[in-house]
């Protein structure tokens, strides 16, 4: 197998009197954002390098092609291909979604509540994809107007998240001339159904302007109703629960500012609710004459305030902060308020009687660890009935119709596994690892009940650890392709994420970012000490910012792993944080620090950035993926990383790069079968590396 080489051109730049040397800096071509729209602008040498790498990756998988086919069939056999969601009762119609065995994108269906007409498919994803003739079919929004006669929808046909909005008359089934390009994909209808709001992307792919489009009018006449001046902030618009107000939210990763205006106003003049204050987040909703404010001001894990809508300066505490408990947002019924909270990475649901102000927990399952959920089942909020759900790492999802008043619950839908699934064959556990500074890091895991803790099994240890994103201990049928072959599936709830609240996030960002990686290593070592596995028996699995975690721990403790999957990984952290013209960079400085302005941040990022810290040592087998059209983590990062890794490593293991040159996004190719194909390939890599080929 001939390993391709990428040419080296020494680049040396000075920052804060420090030299940054990069022999592959030329891959970060100046017009790299243009490649997201037109792959023909890709540097020819990089293109050839990608093709050569894709070829050797294909060669690597030659001997497991049958395994991949079997995994594809196995994964697909665990999915009910012909499936129908529960119906939502709107004002005039029931709305629901249906998938079919032959399709990949599903159908959106509705029927008049009185049953006077047959059900109608008002959006067929497979038919739309065929009509647009695109390999990639990224659906942003499908939004019906309040009068139910119009539908606006947004599509990304390359994977680069530039969405075009189209408009269709549902009475005729024909599209109107209204077409709006380069949007973020969101669509919010006015109550009179004569217009809708959307956000426009600027030249750096940031949504910083909100426009109002009047149906039938030229796009160039669209009214600009809000513009964010700060490059680090982006904005969006939504409608409150009672449909009395539109809310404009503008934010970076740590600070929020919101404006509101009445939904029936003909002349729009947004009113500031509360001026932005660094590191303070809030969101507002309205219900029955009150604004409800979900905020972290003086409450790191949130509280809920409220005020009358005409007295926004007279705030009162509605739900106080709780120690080491994350307070969630609210859903409203006429007489009840639903909310969630989370402590020790375990979520719970509560319902409050508005009249008595008494609150109680909704108990759905006797399982200690799992994911509860609640949703409204109809537009009319004068009801005592809702839908509640439950799933765990071993138990497929169940949805119940629940009566708040009588506490009766009726099973109305259960996730079916056509090939069969017995939850009793598995054990779900929650254990904790002590990190370097004494913090106890939760680990959620599922394994075969008959697996012995004899330090001989292999473990897939998944992690993310950024953006305050929590990884739920939820059900995934496909994981059992690995679990049933003796691999334990575990989640490391490491800092940087939000599993244990805001402090958990704060302790894994900026100058505390190394905690994220040390937490992961502590979890891996704890699994070894507790004899779930052995040194060298762990597979790292993570993507995007999780790929940064994987790249960092590969440099710090490569001996722990037999295999690593770095999916669209953020591995060239320094280069990206030094380029303020990239789509996400300015807003990201609140997470990683600004190395352009601050020498300390420059040195700190340089101390862990995976690309800059590759060393002369043995690395485990790796599968690294990327896409030419990914605007979140540019293709240049994994390409530079694999080239430098091969230059410097001392092992003979297979480190592979797979770059999608056809339309694909940050989450891979579009469509159900494509997603299963990618997953089967990833699993085959894990199993081949683990020498489990049955």
Mean of the pLDDT values across residues 337-356?
Answer: 92
Indicate the range of 177-186, 511-520, 626-635 predicted with least confidence.
626-635
User: Mean pLDDT, to the nearest integer, of 225-252?
Assistant: 96
Statement: residue 289 has pLDDT above 80 = yes
Closest CA to 435 of 526, 496, 499: 526
Q: How far apart are CA 465 and CA 517, in angstroms?
A: 9
Q: What is the Cα–Cα distance from 412 to 132, expressed in whole angstroms?
A: 36
Q: Say how far apart CA 429 and CA 156 lie, in whole Å.
A: 40
Residue 629 pLDDT grade (very low, low, confident, very high; cuts 50, 70, 90): confident
Burial group, residue 419, by CB count within 10 angstroms (0-12, 13-18, 19+): middle
Q: Is the pLDDT of residue 663 over 70?
A: no
Question: What's the CA gap between 279 and 506, in Å, rounded?
Answer: 11
Q: Are strands 621-627 and 561-567 parallel, antiparallel or unpaired?
A: parallel
For residue 571, the SS3 value is: coil
HSE toward the beta carbon, residue 119, CA cutoff 13 A: 12
- Kindly write down the DSSP assignment for every residue of 125-165, as one continuous string: HHHHHHHHT-S--EEEEEEE-TTSSEEEEEEESSSS--EEE
Quick check: 664 pLDDT over 70?
no
> Are residues 165 and 209 in contact, defined by beta-carbon separation less than 8 angstroms?
no
Asked if pLDDT for residue 660 goes beyond 90, the answer is no
Interatomic CA distance for residues 57 and 21, integer angstroms: 29
What integer is the mean pLDDT of 534-545?
Answer: 97
Where in 333-403 does DSSP place strands (E)? 336-343, 346-353, 359-361, 371-375, 385-391, 398-403
| Rounded-to-integer distance, Cα 272 and Cα 283, Å | 12
Q: Is 653 exposed, middle or buried (0-12, 13-18, 19+ CB in 10 A)?
A: middle
Question: CB of 429 within 8 A of CB of 489?
Answer: no
The answer to whether residue 662 scores a pLDDT higher than 80 is no
Q: What is the 3-state secondary structure (H, E, C) of 287-306?
A: ECCEEEEEECCCCCCCEEEE
| Fold assignment, 427-689 | Rossmann fold (3.40.50)
pLDDT of residue 158: 84
Give the chain's mean pLDDT: 94
User: Which of these, 509, 620, 615, 514, lies nearest to 555 by C-alpha position?
Assistant: 615
Q: What is the pLDDT of residues 408-454, one digit of tens each?
A: 999 999 999 999 999 999 999 999 999 999 999 999 999 999 989 99
CA–CA dist 666, 669 (Å, integer): 9
Give how far the C-alpha of residue 60 lies from the chain's centroid of Cα atoms, to the nearest Å. 30
Is a pLDDT exceeding 80 seen at residue 694?
A: no
**Dihedrals phi, psi of 344, to nearest 5 degrees:** 55, 35
DSSP letters spanning 55-87: HHHHHHTGGGHHHHHHHHHHHHHTS-SSEEPPP
The percentage of residues in the chain with a pLDDT greater than 90, rounded to a whole number, is 87
Instruction: Specify burial of residue 65 (Cβ count, 10 A radius: 0-12, 13-18, 19+).
Output: exposed
What's the mean pLDDT in 655-684?
85
What is the C-alpha separation between 644 and 313, in angstroms, rounded? 57
pLDDT tens digits along 363-394: 999 898 899 999 999 999 999 999 999 999 99
Domain assignments of the chain as residue spans, ordered by start = 336-417, 427-689
- Cα 112 from Cα 309, distance rounded (Å): 35
Per-residue model confidence (pLDDT) at position 291: 98
**pLDDT value at 687 more than 90:** yes
**C-alpha span between 350 and 326 (Å, rounded):** 13
Supply 88's token pair. Answer: 């939502």
- For residue 1, pLDDT over 70 is answered with no
Is residue 366 exposed (0-12), middle (13-18) or buried (19+ Cβ within 10 Å)? exposed
Contact between 644 and 572 under an 8 Å Cβ cutoff? The reply is no
Report pLDDT digits (tens) over 72-131.
Answer: 999 999 999 999 999 999 999 999 999 999 999 999 999 999 999 999 999 999 999 999
What is the model's pTM? 0.91
Backbone angles phi, psi at 655, to 5 degrees: -110, 115
Strand ordering across the sheet containing 290-295: 282-287, 290-295, 303-308, 316-319
pLDDT-derived band at 665 (thresholds 50, 70, 90) equals low
């Amino acid at each position: 197998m001939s390993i391709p080489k990428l040419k080296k051109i020494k680049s040396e730049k000075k920052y804060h009197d420090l030299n940054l040397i990069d022999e592959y800096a030329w891959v970060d071509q100046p017009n790299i954002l243009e490649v997201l729209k037109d792959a023909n602008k890709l540097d020819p040498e990089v293109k050839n390098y990608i093709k050569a790498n894709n070829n050797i990756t294909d060669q690597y998988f030659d001997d497991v092609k049958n395994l991949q086919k079997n995994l594809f069939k196995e994964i697909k056999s665990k999915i009910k291909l012909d499936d129908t969601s529960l119906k939502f009762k709107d004002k005039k119609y029931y709305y629901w979604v249906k998938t079919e065995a032959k399709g990949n994108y599903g159908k959106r269906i509705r029927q008049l509540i009185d049953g006077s007409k047959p059900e109608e498919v008002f959006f067929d994803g497979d038919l739309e994809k065929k009509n647009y003739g695109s390999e990639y079919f990224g659906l942003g929004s499908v939004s019906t107007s309040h009068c139910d006669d119009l539908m606006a929808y947004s599509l990304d046909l390359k994977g680069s998240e530039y969405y075009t909005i189209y408009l269709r008359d549902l009475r005729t089934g024909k599209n109107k001339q209204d077409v709006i390009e380069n949007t973020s994909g969101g669509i919010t209808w006015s109550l009179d159904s004569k217009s809708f709001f959307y956000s426009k992307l600027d030249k750096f792919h940031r949504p910083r302007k909100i426009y109002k489009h009047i149906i039938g009018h030229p796009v160039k006449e669209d009214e600009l109703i809000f513009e964010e001046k700060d490059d680090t902030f982006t904005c969006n618009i939504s409608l409150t629960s009672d449909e009395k107000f539109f809310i404009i939210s503008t934010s970076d990763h740590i600070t929020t500012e919101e404006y509101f205006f009445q939904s029936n106003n003909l002349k729009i003049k947004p009113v500031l609710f509360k001026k932005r204050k660094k590191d303070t987040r809030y969101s507002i909703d309205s219900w029955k004459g009150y604004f409800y404010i979900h905020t972290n001001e003086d409450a790191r894990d949130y509280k809920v305030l409220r005020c009358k809508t005409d007295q926004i300066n007279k705030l009162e505490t509605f739900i106080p902060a709780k120690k080491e408990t994350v307070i969630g947002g609210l859903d409203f019924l006429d007489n009840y308020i639903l909310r969630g909270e989370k402590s020790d990475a375990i979520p719970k649901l509560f319902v409050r009687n508005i009249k008595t102000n008494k609150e109680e927990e909704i108990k759905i399952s006797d399982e200690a660890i799992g994911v509860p959920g609640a949703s409204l089942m109809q537009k009319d909020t004068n009801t005592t009935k809702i839908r509640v759900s439950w799933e765990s790492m071993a138990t497929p999802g169940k949805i119940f119709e629940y009566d708040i008043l009588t506490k009766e619950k009726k099973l109305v839908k259960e996730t079916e596994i056509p090939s069969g699934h017995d939850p009793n064959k598995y054990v779900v556990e929650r254990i904790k690892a002590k990190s370097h500074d004494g913090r106890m890091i939760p680990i959620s895991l599922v394994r075969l009940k008959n697996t012995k803790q004899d330090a001989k099994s292999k473990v897939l240890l998944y992690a993310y650890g950024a953006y305050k994103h929590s990884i739920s201990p939820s059900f995934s049928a496909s994981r059992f392709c690995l679990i049933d072959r003796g691999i334990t599936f575990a989640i490391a709830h490491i800092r940087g994420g939000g599993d244990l609240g805001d402090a958990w996030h704060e302790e894994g960002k900026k100058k505390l970012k190394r905690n994220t990686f040390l937490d992961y290593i502590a979890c891996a070592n704890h699994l070894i000490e507790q004899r779930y596995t052995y040194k060298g028996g762990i597979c790292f699995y993570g993507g995007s910012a999780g790929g940064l975690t994987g790249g960092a721990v590969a440099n710090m403790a490569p001996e722990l792993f037999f295999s690593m999957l770095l999916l669209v990984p953020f591995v060239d952290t320094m280069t990206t944080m030094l380029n303020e013209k990239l789509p996400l960079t300015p807003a990201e400085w609140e997470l990683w620090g600004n190395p352009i302005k601050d020498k300390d941040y420059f040195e700190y990022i340089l101390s862990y950035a995976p690309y800059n810290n590759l060393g002369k040592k043995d690395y485990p087998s790796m599968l690294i993926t990327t896409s030419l059209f990914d605007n979140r983590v540019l293709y240049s990062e994994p390409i530079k990383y694999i080239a430098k890794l091969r230059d410097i490593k001392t092992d003979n293991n297979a480190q592979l790069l797979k770059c999608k040159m056809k339309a694909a996004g940050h989450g891979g190719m579009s469509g159900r079968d494509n997603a299963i194909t990618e997953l089967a390939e990833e699993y085959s890599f894990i199993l081949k590396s683990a020498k489990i080929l049955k």
